[in-house]
Structure 1
Amino acid sequence: MKTLGKKIRLLRHQKGWSQEDVAKKLDISIPAFSKIETGITDINLSRLEQIATLFEMSVVQLLTFNDTQEEQKFASELENIHKKLTERETEVIDLQKKVIELFEELRLKKVTA
C-alpha cells in the first residue's frame, strides 16, 4: 500500500493541495489522511473511489498510475521553479544594492549641504 500512498501524495502535490485541503475534501482528519499517504492505513474500496474521484480518475487509473513519469515531470517543474526563484533572488539583491547606493547618495548630499 505504500506505493499507492506515494501516488496519492504525488497527485496531491501536482494539484498544489495541502494534506489539510485533501482531508477536508474527503471529510476525514489530517492525521487520517497522512496515514493513507504513508501507507500506515489500508484504504477500503469506498475511500479509494472517493480519492480517485477527487483526482478526476477512475480507481483503475489511480492504481495503475505511472508514478515514475509523473515524478520526472514533477522534478522538472520543481527545477524550473528553483531556477525562477534563483533569478528572483538575484533581482532582489540587485535592488537592495541600488537602495543602499541611493541611501548613500542622499546621506552624502545631506552632509555637504
Structure 2
Amino acid sequence: MKSLGKKIRLLRHQNGWSQEDVAKRLDISIPAFSKIETGITDVNLSRLQQIAKLFDMSVVQLLNFNDADEEKKYTTDLEQANKKLQERNNDVIELQKKVIELYEELRKNYAGKN
C-alpha cells in the first residue's frame, strides 16, 4: 500500500493541495489522511473510490497510475516553467537597461540645456 500512498501524495502535489485540503474533501482527519499517504493505513474500496473521484479518475486509473512517469512529466514541466521564468527575467533585465540608457540620455540633454 505504500506505493498507492505515494501515488496519492503525487496527485495531491500536482493539484497543489495540502493534506488538510484533501482530508477536508474526504471528510477525514489530517492524521488519518497522512496515514493513507504513508501506507500505514490500508484503504478500503469505498475510500479508494472516494479518493479516485477526488482526483477525477477511476479506481483502475488510480491503481495503475505510474508515479515514475508522472513524476518525470511533473519534473519536465517544472524545468520548462523555470526556463520560461529565466527568459522573462532576462527580458526584464534588458528592459531595465534600456530604461537606464534613456534616463541617462534625457539627463545629458537636460544638463546640456542648463
Q: What does 1:22-33 align with in structure 2 at a 5 Å threshold?
A: 22-28=22-28, 33=33
Unpaired segments ≥5 residues, structure 2:
none
Amino acid at match of 1:53: K
SS of alignment partner, residue 16 of structure 2: coil
Aligned to 1:61: 61
SS of alignment partner, residue 48 of structure 1: helix
Larger Rg: 1 or 2? 2
Aligned to 2:97: 97
Structure 2 distance, partners of 1:110, 1:6, is: 65
The aligned length equals: 111
TM-score, with length taken from structure 2: 0.74
Deviation for aligned residue 1:33: 4.2
Unpaired segments ≥5 residues, structure 1:
none
Q: What does 1:39-58 align with in structure 2 at a 5 Å threshold?
A: 39=38, 41-45=40-44, 46-58=46-58
Deviation for aligned residue 1:7: 1.0
SS of alignment partner, residue 56 of structure 1: coil
Aligned to 1:79: 79
Structure 2 distance, partners of 1:21, 1:96, is: 41
C-alpha offsets along residues 70-97 of structure 1, whole Å, 9 cap, x if unaligned?
A: 1222122122112111111111111111
TM-score, with length taken from structure 1: 0.74
Q: 1:111 to 1:81 in 2, by over 3 A?
A: same
Taking only aligned residues, the RMSD between alpha carbons, in angstroms, comes to 2.5
Deviates more, 1:57-66 or 1:39-48: 39-48
